[in-house]
Chain A
Amino acid sequence: MTAEIYLNGKYIGEAEDPITFIEQFKSERRKGSISFNCNVGYDEKADTILLNSNEGRAVRPLIVVKDGIPMLTDNHLKQLEKGELNWNDLVKQGIIEFLDAAEEENALVAFTEKELRTEHTHLEISPMDMLGLCASLVPFANHSPTPRVNMGSKNQKQALGFYAANYLVRMDMDVNLLHSPQTPIVRTMMHDIYGDQNHPSGQNIIVAVMSYDGYNMEDAIVINKSSVDRGLARSTYYRPSVAEELRYSGGLVDEIGVPDKEVKGYKSEKDYRLLENDGIIYPEAKISEGDVIIGKTSPPRFLSSLDEYNLAAATRRESSVAVSHGEKGIVDFVLITENEEGNKLVQARIRDQRIPEIGDKFTSRHGQKGVIGLLVPQTDMPFSASGITPDLIFSPHGIPSRMTISHMIELIGGKVGALAGRYIDGTIFHSEKEADLRKELLSLGFRENGVETLYNGRTGETYKAKIFIGNMYYLKLKHMVANKLHARARGPIQLLTRQPTEGRAKEGGLRLGEMEKDTFVAHGASLLLKERFDSDNTRVPVCEKCGLIAIYDSHKNRSYCPICGDNVEISNIEMSYAFKLILDEFKSLCVYPKLGLANKY
């Protein structure tokens, strides 16, 4: 029985006895004479040995097991604790090895030490390491359906937090910083590993699971306005504006400075009022839509045309950087430097405080995201006998269909942690037991199931139902309405089609699409439909003889047909500009689109 051997997919030879070959290979690797980056897989059916050492394979570390006993001993652990050993030492000693997909096929991996039998070849370092960083940040994740854990970890990536301590001197695009962030009370092992203490991303708040006048239905949440006034989930949005003095052919350069009034495209004195003499805005200036941040002029676009008309004083173009539509803020930081080519480079960072408002998005760590539906003053919020008011009210309808049990355990855990003054371990598969948490809650003087009698904040009546209330780690997500709100009545249009522009950044229109059009037709609202599509309506003079578009000369106030001349009937026809455009395109393709004019009725 000779097995073929392939190294990185290339045939290199044969092995008489594949099993011994593989065993020998592995033992050599564990000894360190072969790199630990090499893996060997054996395909029994095809009787081939697959050696892999190339880059890009996903590998994962496992503890080597011999005869049902893990190679990693308590002795090792002690040495690790003392710092006499590190990870690389364990790998070098062949105690931990990395398996790739091919080698994993031949391995039998035990999940925990308890279930180890003699057949096992490897032991999982921790059940947690089958999850990635984000997923292991979900506490009690083994109590929730996988999709929810997945969503919970996705949501955490969008959370606002404290991303870098040197943020003051950084010029990152689109940065959000959460004010007074906190490290979670209910945490997992991963929080300690990745240094959550230095980069927290949420706040521990009081959550009540109840309805509040229906303002938290369909995944909305109600937030305590007084908490917001005290600084709950407040954040700052940073965004730099950049201007460069570019060089053009012919020795022409851009110029950063306050533009002259002669400059082509000069805005208005008011827009430039915040600029200092160097053409750059001063720090702490309050700016809003249209204000110029960095004044700049560029050389004229076509030099040749200048010579022709002999305009000695070249009219430069205005190319300042201004605050774009719908934005506001305060100038935070101004930086003047030069780029790689030695051109002057100016950056001005704008800061804008974002206070939670209706429509901002929040989430717990269990895929239970929601937007604020209402801000309620503390006086109107429900309160408990001990005088606790929730910061956030979460709807109970979010629970049964999604089955996020971990969400509810975290609430109890958070309550215990807050009352006992300690952190709660929610690491997947070896978290603190729910029963223990309940017992501790009982010993702290609360109902063991986490419910309390709440009182209606407005009437003072007790609620008939006991309300599930506790402490949870909530995250503010980067999707805030302030960045998304958009409406338009009039506004810019596209040059080619004369239809409204698209998108919020360009102050665009909201499209009435094909299917929306169908609803108008279905209702027989023919004239309303026409009116909705009037955005690109034009009047076109049409020659009645040749059926092509004629020309209107506004100087002489007459129309004529470029083909048939003056002595023809020319009528003005209303049509969409898009249709006029397609007629032109037909003509460019040598298709004659002849319009036949007749009275409609």
Chain B
Amino acid sequence: MAKNYRKYKNKLPESIMDEIKEKTEGMSDTRVNKVLKEAFNEYRKMRVNSGESVGLVGAESIGEPGTQMTLNTFHFAGVAEMNITVGLPRIIEILDARKTIKTPMMEIFLKKPWSTGKNIKQLALSIKESRLKDILVDITVSIVDSKIELKLDDEKMKEIGIINSKVVSALKKQFKKASIKKKDDIIMIKHKGKEDSMEDVYKIKEKIKDVYIQGIKGITQVLPVKRNNEFIIISAGSNLKKILKLKEVDGTRTTTNDIYETAGVLGVEAARQVIINEVNKVIEAQGLNVDMRHVMLVADTMCFSGEVNGITRYGIVSEKASVLARASFETPIKHIINASLAGEVDQLNSVVENVMLNQPVPVGTGLPGLITKVK
């Protein structure tokens, strides 16, 4: 039995071998052998032939459905508060590897017991970035003694789980020179030090409104939802680093749709997976059918240098070896001048250069050469 498996050990990938082992448990030797043989033949058939222009076929396979996407005008989805970029703009955003994306989003998975729905609303709201103005009912300036009085909304405070003293300490942190007093449910602020002109007081008033109270910076909206019998939190805005530090969060499954953030926090391999997932999400939402491997190839190309590069003239195109290929994309003059200054040599190894020279391109039938002995 083991002999059979050993024979195919390096011929089939491990994951397939494991699956076969599991499925063929208890079968006779000859049958197992037959299964392995079939599996190997099937696997060999599925492999890409050498000389196949995978990149171009991938580009066409993603590009063709892309032209249909432009025609569909469903580029935004969701309710008014939570807009998500989808469709062609999102694809462009991903493939260009934009540093700041239009609608950053997170899917925050939770550990038990929070994932069963315990205090889910409070948890969500505590994650959300809150500023003073969110819990403010009234703010008045007394002109006589240049005092600012704040009145807070108790209900809203309860909702996001914050108490008066916390607000006061947050204010104290921000305005170290001011005296802050609490009287019943009114907070009084008086600026010490220099003589305050009215203008300054009003400036402070505006500043107070923006005082950070609690939550995670960058998370502008939260939405607890139930997915597959467990509660997760979907957020608009993204801050992976800080979210992962929370004790309630299941860091192994929590994701963001920001490629750069993922690359920074979890590394380039995770970024590659985010690219694949995000592109697939768009393609699936549009009801299109693109083979996974094309997307994977694109993601690999974007990430193989160890950092995320977009498919732009600054990204992976600038890494092309051939001067002529780069020049035939955008900004030809720049590339030619730089190449002439550095004395670059074009080895003519790729498609575009050879089309320009009218030489057979090194793919498919252009790949093999015929060698004969000349007497």
Contact call B340/A591, Cβ cutoff below 8 A: yes
For chain A, what secondary structure do more than half of its interface residues adopt (helix, strand, loop), or is it mixed?
A: helix
Interface residues of B in 41-82 (CB under 8 A from A): 51-53, 56-57, 59-60
Given the complex, which residues of A lie within 8 Å of B363, measured CB to CB?
A: 521, 524, 526
B358's partner among A522, A534, A586, A601 (CB-CB below 8 A) is A534
Q: Of B60, B340, B365, which is within 8 A of A524 by CB? A: B365
Cβ–Cβ < 8 Å partners of B340 in chain A: 586, 591-592
Contact partners of A582 in chain B: CB under 8 A? 356
Instruction: Give the chain A neighbours of B52 by CB distance below 8 A.
Output: 524
Residue-wise interface mask of A (215-245) relative to B, using a CB-CB cutoff of 8 A (1 in contact, 0 not):
0000000000000000000000000000000
Contact segment of B139-147, B205-213, B312-320, B367-375: B367-375
Q: Which residue of B lies closest to A582 (CB)?
A: B356
A600 neighbours in B (Cβ, 8 Å): 369
Q: Are A526 and B360 in contact (CB under 8 A)?
A: yes
B305 within 8 A of A: no
Instruction: Tell whether A529 is near chain B: CB-to-CB under 8 Å.
Output: yes
Q: Is A482 an interface residue (CB 8 A)?
A: no
The contact of A521 among B53, B337, B359, B371, by CB within 8 Å, is: B53
Interface residues of A in 539-588 (CB under 8 A from B): 574-576, 578-579, 582, 586
Kindly state whether residue A127 has any CB partner on chain B within 8 Å: no
B136 at the interface (CB under 8 A from A): no
CB pair A529–B355 under 8 Å, yes or no, is yes
Q: Which A residues touch B345, using CB under 8 A? A: 596
Q: Quick check: B51 and A521 within 8 Å, CB to CB?
A: no
**Which residues in chain A, 493-533, are within 8 Å of chain B measured between CB atoms?**
517-519, 521-530, 533
Count B-side interface residues using an 8 Å CB cutoff: 28
Interface string of B337-375 (1 = CB under 8 A from A): 100100001000001000111111111111101110000
Chain B proximity of A374: nearest CB distance (Å): 32
Bound-complex Cα distance A521 to B359 (A)? 13
Q: A592 vs B336: C-alpha distance in the bound complex, in angstroms?
A: 11
A521 touching B351, Cβ below 8 Å: yes
Q: Among A526, A530, A533, point to the contact of B367 (Cβ < 8 A).
A: A526
Chain A stretch 363-408: residues in CB contact (< 8 A) with chain B:
none
| Cβ contacts under 8 Å, B59 to chain A | 518
With CB as the reference atom, state the residue of chain B lying closest to A536: B358
**Is the beta-carbon distance between B355 and A523 smaller than 8 angstroms?**
no
Please, which residues of chain B bring their CB within 8 A of the CB of A591?
336-337, 340
Q: Are A518 and B60 in contact (CB under 8 A)?
A: yes
Residues of B within 8 A of A586 (CB): 336, 340
Smallest CB–CB gap between A321 and chain B, Å?
39
Q: A517-B355, A521-B53, A521-B351 are in contact. Are A526 and B369 (CB under 8 A)?
A: no
Given A526-B367, A586-B336, A601-B369, A521:B358 Cβ within 8 A: no
Q: Are A526 and B365 closer than 8 Å at their CB atoms?
A: yes
Which of A522, A528, A536, A579 is close to B56, meaning CB atoms less than 8 Å apart?
Answer: A522
Closest B residue, CB atoms, query A596? B345
**Which residues of the partner chain B approach A530 to less than 8 Å between Cβ atoms?**
358-361, 366
Q: Check A526/B361 contact, CB under 8 A, given A521-B53, A596-B345, A601-B371.
A: yes
Is A449 on the interface with B (CB-CB < 8 A)?
no
Asked whether A211 is an interface residue with its Cβ less than 8 Å from the other chain, the reply is: no
**Complex formed: what's the CA distance from A146 to B59 in Å?**
39
Chain A, interface residues (CB within 8 Å), range: 20 to 34
- Beta-carbon nearest neighbor of B333 in chain A: A589
Closest to A529 in B: B361
Which chain A residues lie closer than 8 Å to B357 at the CB level? Answer: 575-576, 579
- Whether, in the assembled complex, A180 has its beta carbon less than 8 Å from a beta carbon of chain B, the answer is no
Residues of B within 8 A of A575 (CB): 357-359
In the complex, what residues of A have CB within 8 A of residue B51's CB? 524
- Across the interface, A527 reaches (CB within 8 A) one of B351, B366, B369, namely B366
Which residues of B lie under 8 Å from residue A522 when comparing CB positions? 53, 56-57, 60
Interface contact B358-A533, CB-CB below 8 Å: yes
Instruction: List, in ascending order, chain B residues with CB within 8 A of A529's CB.
Output: 355, 360-361
The residue on B at minimum CB distance from A517 is B355
CA distance A524 to B51 in the complex (A): 7
Which of the residues B351, B358, B364, B369 comes within 8 Å of A523, measured between beta carbons? B364
Max chain A Cβ within 10 angstroms of own Cβ: one of B337, B358, B360, B369:
B358
Which of A521, A529, A586 has most B Cβ within 10 Å?
A: A521
Give the docked Cα–Cα distance between A575 and B351 (Å): 15
Interface assignment of A453: CB less than 8 Å from any CB of chain B: no
Q: Closest B-chain residue to A537, C-beta based?
A: B358
Give Cα A9 to B363, complex, Å.
68
Is there an interface contact between A525 and B365, defined as CB atoms closer than 8 Å? yes
CA distance A600 to B347 in the complex (A): 11
A42 to chain B, nearest CB (A): 37
> Which residues of B lie under 8 Å from residue A527 when comparing CB positions?
360, 365-366
Contacts of B371 in A (CB 8 A): 601
Q: Which residue of B lies closest to A533 (CB)?
A: B358
Q: Is the pair B358, A524 in contact by a Cβ cutoff of 8 Å? A: no
Q: Which residue of B lies closest to A585 (CB)?
A: B336
User: Is B358 within 8 A of A574, CB to CB?
Assistant: yes
CB-CB nearest in chain B for A528: B365
- B window 289-331: CB within 8 A of A: none
Instruction: Give the shortest distance, in Å, between A525 (CB) and chain B (any CB).
Output: 6
Bound-state Cα–Cα, A600 to B367, Å: 11
Contacts of B365 in A (CB 8 A): 524-528
Is B56 a contact partner of A521 (Cβ separation < 8 A)?
yes
Q: Are A578 and B356 in contact (CB under 8 A)?
A: yes
A392 to B182, CA, bound (A): 92
Q: Bound state CA distance, A586 and B366, in angstroms? A: 28
Flag A404-415 by CB within 8 Å of B: 1 or 0 each: 000000000000
- Minimum CB distance partner of A601 in chain B: B369
Q: How far is the CB of B271 from chain A (nearest CB, A)?
A: 28
How far is it, in angstroms, between the C-alpha of A52 and the C-alpha of B336 when the chains are bound? 58
**B77 to nearest A CB, angstroms?**
28
Q: In the complex, A340 Cα to B54 Cα: how many Å?
A: 67
- Return chain B residues, CB-CB under 8 Å to A518: 56, 59-60
Complex Cα spacing A537 to B56, Å: 25
Assess the A521–B369 pair: CB atoms within 8 A: no
The interface residues of chain B lying within 8 Å CB-to-CB of A592 are 340
Given A522-B53, A601-B369, A579 contacting B364 (CB threshold 8 A): no
Task: Give Cα A162–Cα B56 distance, bound, in whole angstroms.
Answer: 54
Report the bound CA distance from A582 to B358 in whole Å. 13
Query: In the complex, A578 Cα to B56 Cα: how many Å?
Result: 24
B100 to chain A, nearest CB (A): 32
Interface centre among A518, A526, A579, A586 (most CB of B within 10 A): A526
| Shortest Cβ distance from residue B357 to the other chain A in the assembled complex, whole angstroms | 5
Give Cα A293–Cα B56 distance, bound, in whole angstroms. Answer: 53
**Alpha-carbon distance between A586 and B345 when the two chains are bound, in angstroms:** 15
Residues of chain A within 8 A (CB-CB) of B56 are 518, 521-522
**Hey, which chain A residues are within 8 Å of B366, CB to CB?**
524, 526-527, 530
Q: What is the chain B residue whose CB lies nearest that of A590?
A: B340
Closest residue of A by beta carbon distance from B51: A524
Q: Which residues of A contact B364 (CB under 8 A)?
A: 521, 523-526
| Distance to closest chain A CB from B192 (angstroms) | 49
Contacts of B367 in A (CB 8 A): 526
Task: Give the shortest distance, in Å, between B306 (CB) and chain A (any CB).
Answer: 29
Most buried by A among B52, B345, B362, B365: B365
Q: Give the complex CA separation of A338 and B133 in angstroms.
A: 86
- Chain A to chain B contacts (Cβ below 8 Å), 17 pairs: A519-B60, A521-B53, A521-B56, A521-B351, A522-B56, A522-B57, A524-B52, A527-B360, A527-B366, A529-B360, A533-B355, A575-B357, A575-B358, A578-B356, A592-B340, A600-B369, A601-B371
Closest 8 CB pairs of A and B: A524-B364, A526-B366, A576-B358, A601-B369, A591-B340, A526-B360, A526-B365, A526-B361
* Other A-B pairs beyond A522-B57, A600-B369, 19, CB < 8 Å: A521-B364, A522-B53, A522-B56, A524-B51, A525-B365, A526-B361, A526-B363, A526-B364, A526-B367, A527-B366, A530-B358, A534-B358, A537-B358, A574-B358, A575-B358, A576-B356, A576-B357, A591-B336, A591-B340
